């Protein structure tokens, strides 16, 4: 029977495929595809883990005190029986052999299947055995974690191990470390139970240019492994087991979308110049050095944001990248851009992008109640001075290979600025003493805290340029956790306060002759292109997949006419409606009016 699940549309388009479920667990489970050559080794890991758990359970049973309740021994017998059940063992091996899941993923996938079967049993006693299965499974996962070969550093090259059928990913949530693995893999779409329009999962889905729906609440419970699923990334609807008529309608929409992308692709290397002759820099946001090739291919004239935190994520404790490893990564990105400028942001760890070891925060708190307001971004870097100087030296060394700019995230205090420049000076001195070449680089600030926007005139005496990070600026201005679907309806890029902060920041930077750009999600959303141009922005940084559609809006725009309507939009109670009316008059064509266009593109 076909069912519909509703969530938040975060990445446009239609995806059709079989569901791959990433089950939730009280234990962190690595999810990645393995190469065919590793299948037997992964199955051997399963066997060894099962033998280890069996030995543990047998030892527990043997050492039971004489006065222990008989039920306890019987319970251990049940766990041993479940552990040695051939149906469970063979089914788990199936996920490894047929889908090429790693061992941990195979165990959690089979737990998901069995948990549903237990839930559907009519007998109360049998239904309650689900808890036993979960306990045995978690013992297996712990044993796998203790064994060798379980690192997520062995993902396979992108291939479709699901056979001819496309795959879509369904999960309660997807950790950033897993997203780093999945971003280059076989999935044609994502569905998650939780998350907001600018949560990490949503941003990565948009960066992969694939349809996604987040905040779908019960999706991972209602959808089963291998169900046929349609993800409507335009309206936020997920259709499970669609009828043939519905399926054909969505396949038609897929074909139309592919034709539109092919048409936009012809604009890749067309200069982005408005009708009145204003050149606009179309820059790319990248997360890994290898993304530089996609940026060049998409027609980007530089990298406006290199998110270096992805080099730090998905690493074992004590294995964070050192200076040389970072230098090689930054050098690869600089060379990959073939002489075009690269803006490298210092690490923005914290909030929804944690790493395995944060020594300062571990000393102060084991749990952070609100990481978005805690030790993150420049605060974390300044609290880890040795690690910060390592990154600064690596960035400076990369500058010897091309045009590099340095971007500092989440600055809010003059004291932070002074400490940052002291650290940069110290890093330069260390490189000079070591005889390592570098050139002086421009240093810019991310404007993503209201305090920074309000203090911008003073900040600009220190910085060479600024980049407005709209995702966090909206979050902090409106006091909205952008990853929380419970308040996602209040996350509003069109809020007058947000627009005023952006417009004033652009005006102040332009007045002082300092370069200003926007690198948040608003830059890649065609609904905001005319507004950004009206504000005086001439530099937009976005994922490479978004460049062509935004460039099309730029080519059709007349900035002088748009600027004349700016104050009308900024002073309106409903800026979105005012923009659609005012900019229609200015250019003869309205901004995108697609459902929820504010953050979907």
Helix (H) or strand (E) holding 180: helix 176-182
Report CA 351 to chain centroid distance, whole Å: 12
Residues 6+ apart with CB under 8 A from 193: 171, 172, 173, 215, 216, 217, 218, 219, 220, 221
How many angstroms separate the CA atoms of 457 and 465, rounded?
12
307 known member of a binding site: yes
Alpha helical stretches, state H, 183-322: 200-207, 219-222, 244-265, 292-297
471 known member of a binding site: yes
Give me the DSSP letters along 538-564. -EEEE-GGGHHHHHHHHHT--HHHHHH
Q: Residue 170's closest CA among 130, 226, 242, 209? A: 226
How many angstroms separate the CA atoms of 347 and 336, rounded?
21
Count the neighbouring beta carbons within 10 Å of the beta carbon of residue 317: 8
Count the neighbouring beta carbons within 10 Å of the beta carbon of residue 259: 10
How many angstroms separate the CA atoms of 406 and 421, rounded?
11
Give me the DSSP letters along 368-423. -S-GGGSS-THHHHHHSHHHHHHHHHHHHHHGGGS-EEEEE-S---HHHHHHHHHH
Residue 373 has which token pair?
């307001």
Residue 468 has which token pair?
């407005």
How many angstroms separate the CA atoms of 387 and 383, rounded?
9
448 known member of a binding site: yes
120 known member of a binding site: no
Task: Tell me which residue has tokens 């003059």.
Answer: 414
255 known member of a binding site: no
SS (H, E, C) 565-580: CHHHHHCCCCHHHHHH
Is residue 178 a contact partner of residue 64, using CB atoms and an 8 Å limit?
no
Residues 6+ apart with CB under 8 A from 252: none
Task: Tell me which residue has tokens 């393995």.
Answer: 34
Residue 241 has which token pair?
């087991």
Give me the DSSP letters along 99-118. H-B-HHHHHHHHHHHHHHHH
Helix (H) or strand (E) holding 452: helix 450-454
Q: Please report how the helices 130-146 and 39-62 are oriented relative to each other, as an axis angle in degrees rounded to 10.
A: 120
- Which residues does the annotation mark as catalytic? 200, 519
Which residue numbers belong to the known binding site? 307, 345, 448, 471-472, 482
Which residue numbers belong to the known binding site for phosphoenolpyruvate? 307, 345, 471-472, 482
Which residue numbers belong to the known binding site for Mg(2+)? 448, 472
């Amino acid at each position: 029977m076909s069912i519909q699940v509703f969530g938040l549309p975060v990445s446009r388009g239609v995806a059709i495929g079989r569901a791959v479920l990433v089950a939730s667990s009280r234990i962190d489970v690595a999810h990645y595809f393995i190469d065919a050559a590793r299948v037997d080794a992964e199955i051997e890991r399963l066997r060894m883990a099962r033998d280890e758990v069996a030995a543990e359970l047998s030892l527990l049973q043997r050492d039971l005190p004489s006065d222990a309740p008989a039920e306890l021994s019987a319970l251990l017998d049940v766990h041993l029986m479940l552990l040695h059940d051939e149906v469970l063992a063979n089914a788990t091996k199936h996920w490894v052999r047929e889908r090429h899941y790693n061992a941990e993923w195979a165990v959690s996938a089979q737990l998901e299947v069995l948990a549903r079967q237990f839930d559907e049993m009519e007998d109360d006693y049998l239904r309650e055995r689900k808890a036993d299965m979960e306990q045995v499974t978690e013992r297996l996962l712990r044993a796998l974690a203790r064994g060798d070969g379980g690192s997520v550093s062995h993902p396979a090259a992108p291939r479709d191990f699901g056979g001819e059928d496309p795959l879509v990913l369904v999960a309660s949530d997807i950790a950033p470390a897993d997203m780093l693995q999945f971003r280059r893999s076989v999935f044609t779409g994502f569905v998650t139970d939780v998350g907001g329009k600018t949560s990490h999962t949503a941003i990565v889905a948009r960066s992969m240019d694939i349809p996604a729906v987040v905040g779908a609440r019960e999706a991972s419970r209602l959808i089963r492994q291998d169900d046929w699923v349609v993800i409507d990334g335009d309206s936020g609807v997920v259709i499970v087991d669609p009828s043939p008529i519905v399926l054909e309608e969505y396949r038609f929409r897929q074909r139309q979308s592919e034709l539109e992308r092919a048409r936009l692709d012809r604009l890749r290397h067309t200069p982005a110049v408005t009708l009145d002759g204003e050149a606009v820099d179309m820059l790319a946001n990248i997360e890994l050095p290898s993304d530089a090739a996609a940026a060049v291919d998409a027609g980007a004239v530089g990298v406006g944001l290199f998110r270096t935190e992805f080099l730090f994520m998905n690493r074992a404790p004590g294995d964070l990248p050192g200076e040389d490893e970072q230098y090689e990564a930054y050098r690869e990105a600089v060379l990959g851009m073939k002489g075009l400028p690269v803006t490298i942001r210092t690490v923005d760890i914290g909030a929804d992008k944690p790493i395995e070891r944060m020594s300062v925060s571990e000393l102060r708190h084991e749990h952070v109640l609100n990481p978005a307001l805690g030790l993150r971004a420049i605060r974390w870097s300044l609290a880890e001075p040795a690690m910060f100087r390592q990154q600064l030296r690596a960035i400076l060394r990369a500058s010897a290979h091309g045009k590099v700019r340095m971007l500092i995230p989440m600055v809010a205090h003059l004291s932070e600025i002074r400490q940052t420049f002291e650290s940069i000076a110290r890093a330069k001195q260390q490189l000079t003493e070591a005889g390592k070449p570098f050139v002086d680089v421009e240093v810019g600030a991310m404007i993503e805290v209201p305090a920074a926007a309000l203090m911008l005139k003073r900040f600009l005496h220190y910085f060479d340029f600024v980049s407005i990070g709209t995702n966090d600026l909206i979050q902090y201005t409106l006091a909205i956790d952008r990853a929380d679907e419970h308040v996602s309806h209040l996350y509003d890029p069109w809020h007058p306060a947000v627009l005023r902060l952006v417009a004033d920041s652009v005006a102040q930077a332009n007045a002082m002759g300092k370069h200003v750009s926007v690198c948040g999600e608003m830059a890649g959303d065609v609904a905001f292109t005319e507004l950004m141009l009206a504000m005086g922005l001439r530099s937009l940084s976005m994922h490479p997949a978004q460049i062509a559609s935004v460039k099309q809006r730029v080519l059709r725009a007349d900035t002088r006419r748009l600027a004349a309507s700016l104050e009308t939009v900024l002073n309106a109670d409903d800026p979105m409606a005012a923009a659609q009316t005012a900019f229609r008059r200015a250019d003869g064509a309205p901004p995108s009016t697609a459902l929820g266009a504010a953050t979907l593109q």
